[in-house]
């Protein structure tokens, strides 16, 4: 993956403070999209980064560790159902995108967590299938399958 | 025409861009201490005098947070207010005494689970004082904290040196939904903790400089311009609590659910004090609803002894509207709802994919119902009676990789006998209770035990409780 992706890939930082400053907005946004909750996203991003700060000297690949931790923590959060679903605000107008954006956003939110995670990592963070598979702990073929099922479900929902 | 994949990109990026990203600077300062997560804030609000006790408390909190969200803090032994009228006499064994069911929820919603607890352990808490600052109108909640709760020296985002004390404070929460500032004023032998919605540094410094300790009672704010709204003198008590989960059977509780929690206190509560710094209310349907912590966990007090809180997620109605449309039902109607939970096995909205059956040596059978790899519910069959809980997610803790349930404890009332059925994947850290029946499946250890007080007792200052056969 390249550094211009919207995941949390960054060059190796010298200090944790530099790392934190660089990754915080993206970590927050990614966790928020994965959980569909800005509150949960903030909590998860802070928890993960706080955990990393305590282990900073032992982390060889902090960016990769952060990615995987965010995904795992988000999956954990979602499965625990500890925080209420919150619909995120949308800025894009319907006229600009030729479709019912609320409908699509809602449909994405209703997807099973692993399917939604694949979509967020693929279409927001621009991760490769192998990177997604690594984060989810599954085979790339499973990522393909999850993405396919998600797209099929979305197409069915927004184009009945 | 934009294809579906591009539409998804636009939606996700629009959502991301629309997010208000909390300032990284204070967050960076805060992460050197315990993560200042919302869970931590809830803990502080709920349990300010006690220090977290590691993983065990974290796991137990998982159980409790589902029923305690709302940032409730405790009001204790306050003298009965004159407008409360005579108090109803209700024995502990009668449970919460009043039962409510929502109206107007989506058609697919059913009762998914009922969890009941009886609060049977007094809990010592410090006296708390609630003041109003006339200059800003802000409420300030103060209590004397235990020395063990003193924040580490290197943890504070902001340190204010006062003439006779050192204050540390941190403002939490996104500005768009409301912030709160937690603080500690360290006098050496005494430590005063507090919380306020003030965020302005100058105003905060002024208030902190006016904090004084008072031996044996709640801390004070001295000087003109402060109004004491009330003091909670001692431990408040929850006599009984029932939490009812509603949602589409098999569905995602995080996306579609409504939860109602009914608490009965031993003594009447002062609603204003209980609302604390989040003092906002709305009259809906003729009922005064306290909007609560960040306006997302409202509460309704049909009597001074009864508190009803609601949470709503996804497509169900807003939580305050749920409260405004509750109907009271008798205990028999409520009990019928509990029995009906089992019907969800055969009538899920989202089909259960996969199930795991565990048979214990005595013949008791537990069946986990899942959707893909996420179990959603459990049924326990004892002799010829079966009872189910389809809100397993609110209780479960997942394995480190996030892909499977690794821990849960569910209490079910089967034929007037309470059973706890649970799962452990780390029996070293979290052993099964003595006397349990055990069945293993690889590294997964399932157990069942009838009413083990040492297991079901919840190590929490507010609840300290065990389930009782309330119905």
Specify whether the CB–CB gap between B171 and B162 falls below 8 A: no
Average pLDDT over residues B238-260: 82
Cα B125 to Cα B233: distance, rounded to the nearest angstrom: 9
Whole-prediction pTM: 0.57
Q: Does the beta carbon of A24 lie under 8 angstroms from any beta carbon of chain B? A: yes
Q: Does the beta carbon of B222 lie under 8 angstroms from any beta carbon of chain A? A: no
Q: Does the beta carbon of B257 lie under 8 angstroms from any beta carbon of chain A? A: yes
Which comes out higher in pLDDT, residue B287 or B239?
B287
Q: Would you tell me which residues 126-185 of chain B have a C-beta closer than 8 angstroms to some C-beta of chain A?
A: 174
Q: Does the beta carbon of A6 lie under 8 angstroms from any beta carbon of chain B? A: yes
Cβ count within 10 A of residue A160: 5
Pairing of strands B256-265, B238-247: antiparallel
> Residue for token digits 């989960």?
B245
Q: Does the beta carbon of A118 lie under 8 angstroms from any beta carbon of chain B? A: no
Specify whether the CB–CB gap between B308 and B298 falls below 8 A: no
Q: Would you tell me which residues 65-94 of chain A have a C-beta closer than 8 angstroms to some C-beta of chain B?
A: 71-76, 78-85, 88-92
Helix (H, G, I), strand (E, B) or coil at A25: helix
Mutation target among B3, B16, B42, B396 for the A interface, most CBs of A within 10 A: B16
Q: A129 to chain B nearest CA, in Å? A: 15
H/E stretch holding A158 reads helix A140-158
Identify all chain A residues contacting B180, using CB atoms and an 8 Å cutoff: none
Phi, psi of B307 (to 5 degrees): -120, 130
> Residue for token digits 């924040």?
B151
pLDDT of amino acid B138: 92
**What would the pLDDT profile of B154-177 be if each residue is shown by its tens digit?**
554 688 899 889 998 877 655 545
Q: Does the beta carbon of A49 lie under 8 angstroms from any beta carbon of chain B? A: yes
Structural tokens at position B430: 């979290």
Average pLDDT over residues B61-83: 34
> B12-33: buried (b, 16+ CB within 10 Å) or exposed (e) per residue?
bbbbbeebebbebeebbbbbeb
Nearest to B156 by CA among B322, B31, B52: B31
**What would the pLDDT profile of A25-56 be if each residue is shown by its tens digit?**
888 888 888 877 777 788 788 888 877 776 77
**Of the candidates B31, B38, B402, which has its C-beta nearest A50's C-beta?**
B31
Q: A100 to chain B nearest CA, in Å? A: 10
Question: What residue in A sits closest to B29 (Cα-Cα)?
Answer: A17
Average pLDDT over residues B16-25: 62
Identify all chain B residues contacting A71, using CB atoms and an 8 Å cutoff: 402
Phi, psi of B57 (to 5 degrees): -70, -35
pLDDT of amino acid B359: 95
Q: Do the Cβ atoms of A82 and B62 come within 8 Å?
A: yes
Decide if pLDDT at B432 tops 60. yes
Q: A49 to chain B nearest CA, in Å? A: 7
Cα A88 to Cα B162: distance, rounded to the nearest angstrom: 42
Helix (H, G, I), strand (E, B) or coil at A144: helix
Decide if pLDDT at B361 tops 80. yes
Distances (CA, A) of B108 to A48, B88, B256, B320, B366: 37, 36, 10, 20, 26
Structural tokens at position B305: 């002894």
> Residue for token digits 């069959």?
B381
Q: B72 to chain A nearest CA, in Å? A: 16
Nearest to B229 by CA among B195, B169, B274, B183: B274
Specify whether the CB–CB gap between A136 and A143 falls below 8 A: yes
Cα B274 to Cα A41: distance, rounded to the nearest angstrom: 29
Q: Do the Cβ atoms of A137 and B22 come within 8 Å?
A: no
Question: What residue in B sits closest to A106 (Cα-Cα)?
Answer: B314
Q: Do the Cβ atoms of A42 and B393 come within 8 Å?
A: no
Q: Does the beta carbon of B396 lie under 8 angstroms from any beta carbon of chain A? A: yes
Specify whether the CB–CB gap between B214 and B222 falls below 8 A: no
Q: Do the Cβ atoms of A99 and B2 come within 8 Å?
A: yes
Q: Which of left, alpha, beta for B435 (phi over 0: left; psi -120 to 50: alpha)?
A: left
Q: Does the beta carbon of B55 lie under 8 angstroms from any beta carbon of chain A? A: no
Phi, psi of A146 (to 5 degrees): -65, -40
H/E stretch holding B29 reads helix B24-30
Phi, psi of B98 (to 5 degrees): -130, 140
What's the maximum distance between 2 C-alpha atoms anywhere in chain A? 53
Q: Do the Cβ atoms of B8 and A20 come within 8 Å?
A: no
What DSSP line would sit under B254-300, residue for residue? TTEEEEEEEEEESS---HHHHHTT---EEEETTEEEE--GGGTS-EE
Q: Do the Cβ atoms of A81 and B5 come within 8 Å?
A: no
> B39-61: buried (b, 16+ CB within 10 Å) or exposed (e) per residue?
bbbbbbbbbbbbeeeeeebebbb
Structural tokens at position A60: 């060889």
Identify all chain A residues contacting B254, using CB atoms and an 8 Å cutoff: 78, 81, 83-85
Q: Does the beta carbon of B20 lie under 8 angstroms from any beta carbon of chain A? A: yes
Cα B140 to Cα B133: distance, rounded to the nearest angstrom: 7
Helix (H, G, I), strand (E, B) or coil at A122: helix
Cα A80 to Cα B316: distance, rounded to the nearest angstrom: 19
Query: B227 pairs with which residues across the strands?
Result: B132
pLDDT of amino acid B73: 33
Cα B30 to Cα A20: distance, rounded to the nearest angstrom: 12
pLDDT of amino acid B237: 65
Helix (H, G, I), strand (E, B) or coil at B118: strand
- Total beta-carbon pairs less than 8 A apart between chain A and chain B: 170
Mutation target among A19, A84, A103 for the B interface, most CBs of B within 10 A: A84
Mutation target among A68, A78, A81 for the B interface, most CBs of B within 10 A: A81
Specify whether the CB–CB gap between B320 and B260 falls below 8 A: no
pLDDT of amino acid B323: 95
Average pLDDT over residues A113-127: 85
Average pLDDT over residues B92-97: 62
Which comes out higher in pLDDT, residue B194 or B146?
B194
Cβ count within 10 A of residue B381: 18
Average pLDDT over residues B15-27: 59
**What would the pLDDT profile of B311-351 be if each residue is shown by its tens digit?**
887 666 788 899 999 999 988 888 888 888 988 888 787 77
Strand segments (E) across B107-154 = 110-119, 128-133, 139-144
pLDDT of amino acid B266: 78
Cα B54 to chain centroid, rounded: 18
Q: Do the Cβ atoms of B11 and A21 come within 8 Å?
A: no
**Of the candidates B8, B24, B398, which has its C-beta nearest A123's C-beta?**
B8
**Of the candidates A47, A79, A151, which has its C-beta nearest B402's C-beta?**
A79
């Amino acid at each position: 993956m390249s550094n211009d992706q919207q995941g949390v890939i960054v060059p190796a930082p010298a200090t944790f403070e530099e790392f934190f400053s660089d990754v915080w907005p993206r970590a927050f946004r990614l966790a928020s999209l994965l959980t569909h909750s800005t509150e949960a996203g903030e909590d998860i991003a802070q928890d993960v980064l706080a955990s990393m700060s305590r282990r900073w000297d032992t982390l060889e690949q902090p960016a990769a560790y952060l990615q995987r931790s965010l995904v795992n923590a988000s999956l954990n959060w979602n499965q625990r159902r500890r925080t209420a679903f919150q619909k995120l605000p949308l800025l894009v107008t319907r006229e600009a995108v030729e479709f019912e954006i609320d409908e699509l956003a809602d449909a994405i939110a209703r997807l099973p967590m692993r399917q939604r995670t694949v979509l967020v990592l693929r279409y927001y963070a621009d991760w490769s299938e192998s990177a997604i598979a690594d984060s989810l702990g599954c085979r790339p073929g499973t990522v393909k399958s999850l993405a396919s099922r998600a797209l099929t479900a979305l197409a069915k929902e927004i184009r009945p | 025409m934009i294809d579906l994949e591009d539409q998804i990109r636009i939606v996700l990026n629009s959502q991301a861009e629309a997010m208000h990203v909390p300032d990284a600077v204070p967050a960076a300062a805060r992460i050197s201490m315990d993560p200042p997560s919302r869970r931590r804030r809830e803990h502080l609000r709920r349990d300010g005098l006690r220090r977290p006790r590691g993983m065990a408390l974290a796991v137990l909190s998982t159980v409790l947070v589902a029923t305690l969200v709302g940032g409730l803090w405790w009001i204790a032994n306050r003298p009965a207010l004159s407008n409360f009228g005579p108090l109803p006499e209700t024995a502990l064994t009668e449970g919460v005494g009043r039962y409510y069911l929502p109206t107007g929820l989506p058609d697919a919603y059913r009762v998914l689970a009922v969890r009941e607890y009886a609060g049977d352990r007094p809990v010592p808490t410090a006296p708390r004082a609630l003041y109003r600052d006339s200059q800003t109108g802000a409420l300030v909640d103060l209590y004397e904290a235990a020395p063990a709760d003193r924040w580490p020296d290197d943890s504070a985002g902001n340190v204010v040196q006062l003439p006779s004390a050192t204050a540390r404070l941190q403002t939490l929460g996104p500005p768009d939904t409301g912030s709160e500032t937690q603080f500690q004023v360290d006098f050496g032998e005494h430590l005063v903790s507090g919380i306020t919605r003030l965020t302005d540094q100058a105003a905060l410094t002024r208030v902190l400089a006016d904090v004084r300790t008072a031996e044996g009672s709640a801390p004070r704010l001295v000087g003109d311009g402060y109004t004491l709204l009330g003091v909670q003198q001692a431990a408040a008590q929850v006599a009984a609590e029932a939490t009812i989960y509603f949602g589409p059977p098999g569905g995602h509780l995080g996306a579609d659910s409504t939860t109602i929690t009914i608490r009965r206190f031993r003594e009447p509560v002062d609603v204003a004090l209980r609302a604390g710094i989040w003092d906002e209310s709305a009259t809906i349907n003729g009922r005064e609803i306290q909007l609560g912590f960040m306006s997302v966990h409202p509460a309704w007090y049909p009597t001074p002894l009864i508190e009803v809180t609601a949470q709503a997620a996804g497509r169900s109605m807003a939580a305050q509207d749920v409260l405004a449309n509750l109907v009271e039902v008798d205990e028999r109607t409520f009990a019928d709802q509990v029995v009906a939970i089992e019907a969800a096995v055969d009538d899920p909205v989202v089909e259960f994919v996969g199930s795991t059956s565990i048979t214990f040596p005595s013949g008791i059978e537990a069946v986990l119902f899942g959707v893909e790899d996420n179990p959603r519910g459990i049924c326990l069959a004892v002799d010829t009676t079966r009872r189910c809980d389809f809100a397993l997610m609110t209780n479960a803790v997942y394995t480190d990789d996030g892909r499977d349930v690794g821990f849960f404890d569910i209490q079910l009332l089967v034929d007037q006998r309470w059973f706890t059925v649970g799962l452990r994947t780390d029996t070293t850290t979290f052993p099964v209770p003595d006397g349990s029946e055990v069945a293993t499946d690889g590294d997964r250890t399932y157990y069942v035990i009838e009413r083990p007080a040492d297991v079901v007792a919840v190590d929490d200052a507010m609840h300290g409780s065990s389930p009782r056969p309330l119905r």
